[in-house]
Every structure is written in C-alpha cells, then in structure tokens.
Amino acid sequence: MRVAVLGGGSFGTVIANIVAGKGIPVTLWMRNSELAAQINDQHLNAQYLPDVQLADSLIATTDLQQAVSGADLVFVAIPSSAFRAVVRSVKSHLTPNQFVVSTTKGVEADSFSLMSEILAEELPGLNVGVISGPNLAKEIVRKQLTATVVASASEDLRAAVQSVLHTEYFRIYASSDTYGVELGGTLKNIYAIAAGLSAAMGMGENTRSMLMTRGLAEMSRFAVSMGANPLTFLGLAGVGDLIVTCMSPLSRNYRVGYALGSGKSLAQAVDELGEVAEGVNTLRIVQAKAEQLGIYMPLVQGLHKVVFDGAPVSEVARSMMLSEQSTDVEFVLPREVQS
C-alpha cells in the first residue's frame, strides 16, 4: 500500500504523519517549496504544527505527479475554494484503480457541491469517499484518543482507509451515507462560529448548550431536505463533530467567532487566524441555499446578519428568542414503532 496526501495544511500533514508512523510509504504534496524542504530536512511543519516532530519517513513534494504516482490511496486535504482546481490538475495523473478520499469540510460556492460530488464529477469511474468527525489536528498529532468516520459507496475504499489510518489512538468507523457524513462536517462549522462569539461575550453554558442542540436540529433539517439520513447526525460526523468544534478553542471556526465577539472585524478575525476557517464561507452559502429552499434555520439567518451585515448581537439574539417556537425533536420514530 502506498499513500498520497494533497494539501500541507494542519490536517493534511497530520494524516500523512499517521500513515508514515505506521511504516506505510506516503508522500505529502504542498504548494510551498520552503515548507516542503522544512518537512524533508527538519521533519517540521512550523507554519501549521509548530513544535511537533513529524515522522522521519514522511516525504514532502511540490510535484503533483510525483505525489500520486503509484499511490493506492489519495487523500485530498485542500480548502474548498481551491479543491476543484487541484483535482482537475491531478486527474490526468490518476488511474481507475486508485481510491480518492476528501478530508475537506466545506462546500463549493457557485455550485453548492460538496467535495465528494466534485470528486465524482471530475474523476468519473474512480471510487471516492470522505472522512469526517471530531478531529482537531493539534490533538491527533499528539496522539490523543479520537475517532472519525470514513464514508463511501465502495466497501473496498472504506476498508482501505480503515487499514491505513487505524492506530491505537485513532479509530475509524465506516458509513455508506457519504452525503450525510459530509454535510455534518460542513454544517457544524457555522455553529462553531456562534459558540465562539457567545463565549467571547460572556454568555454561559446554558447558552452554548442551546446553540449546540438547536444547531443540531437545524443541521438535520437542512440535511434531510438535501436527501441525507438524519440518523447520521447522531454519530461522530454529526453531534460528535459539533460538540468538539463548539467547545474547543483549538477549533478555527470557534476562534473566528471569539474574535468577532471580542469586537474585531471579520477581516481582522480571519487574518489573525492565519488558516482557512471554512465556516465563514459555509455560512454565506448555506444561508442563501436555506432561503432559496425555504428551510427554517433561524440560527444561520441570525449569525449571517451579525457576521456579514454588522448587526448587533443583542438585537439578533432578541429577535431569535421571539421567533417561532418549533418542536424540540423533529425526526422521531412513531410510538408504535418504538414499542
């Protein structure tokens, strides 16, 4: 088994490091030649994972063809804004027997395509999948216990990812609901911004609990309208990812929300982060899609007003608290089925 990882950010580097640590040949592709040299010479990625010693066998390159040549499994860890362009650049170097897996939690703005849909469009005939879950890169690289979900229609792909990534500290569960798993990882970023914003403003744990549970309801409502299974959101890729993203200062989207709640502008918050926070773009795109489809998402609508329109948080919160009080749990089994 040989593995390629496209994208030298924090999560791409972590995935490559896990594979290298298991003694499996892996090549990490990145655009930045200086970072690639740093990984090869010093076994460090100081920009994204400072002070973390990477596996000696991890090889970095700026040559796409070199990265994927001979790889059985290719992970794509590219921000959503550049995802399709990179896939198009690499497609001529791929063969039908290779598995391609996205790790990106985002959505393409113009088409509202998830990353698995982009892979399917650009790489017809190849088996594709996604991995998503409560996976903070800085914790995984320090070998703290966690788990994720690999989703694909291909059982062989799911088994290959489980074999390559499973370790004593990283457990890989399987799912066939690719769309649901991917939507969970994409939508939760929105509510992480809200959680960070509320924390910066001194709101309590009751507030955060409400945001998370109502956020989960909105995520499920939106996902069902898009054809996903709502039960997927009860697993790691749904509520599991939502919890960690809304509670940890290590979450990039939480940090953007915290900066906004501290009085900084959106531009300042994003610049200060120094990495891509997918939730900012996802918020804009999902709000427009929900409005287009008539999906009731008051948290998304309110947060959009705060982030992009500069609306006062207090006024938005007040209007949300006075809005329609829908049912607590929307997707439940009938009593006769439960018994």
Residues known to be catalytic = 188
Q: Distance of CA 10 to CAs 4, 6, 154, 268, Å?
A: 15, 12, 27, 21
Residue 284 phi/psi, 5° resolution? Answer: -65, -45
User: Exposed (0-12), middle (13-18) or buried (19+): which is 290, by Cβ within 10 Å?
Assistant: buried
CA angle 316/322/324 to nearest 5° reads: 110
| Alpha carbons 234 and 296: distance in angstroms, whole number | 20
Please spell the DSSP secondary structure of 276-300, one letter per residue. Answer: --HHHHHHHHHHHHHHHHT---HHH
What residues pair up with 127 in beta bridges, in sequence order?
Answer: 99
| Alpha carbons 286 and 272: distance in angstroms, whole number | 24
Q: How many CB atoms lie within 10 A of CB 279?
A: 30
Residue 150 phi/psi, 5° resolution? Answer: -105, 130
Contacts 24+ apart (CB under 8 A), 110-119: 112/285, 112/289, 114/179, 114/182, 114/183, 114/186, 115/76, 115/80, 115/83, 115/182, 116/151, 116/178, 116/179, 116/182, 118/83, 118/84, 118/87, 119/76, 119/87
Provide the edge-to-edge strand list for the sheet that holds 3-6: 59-61, 26-29, 3-6, 73-76, 99-102, 127-132, 146-152, 170-175
Outline where 100-154 has alpha helix (H).
Answer: 115-122, 137-140
Q: How many CB atoms lie within 10 A of CB 226?
A: 14
Tokens 């703005």 belong to residue: 109
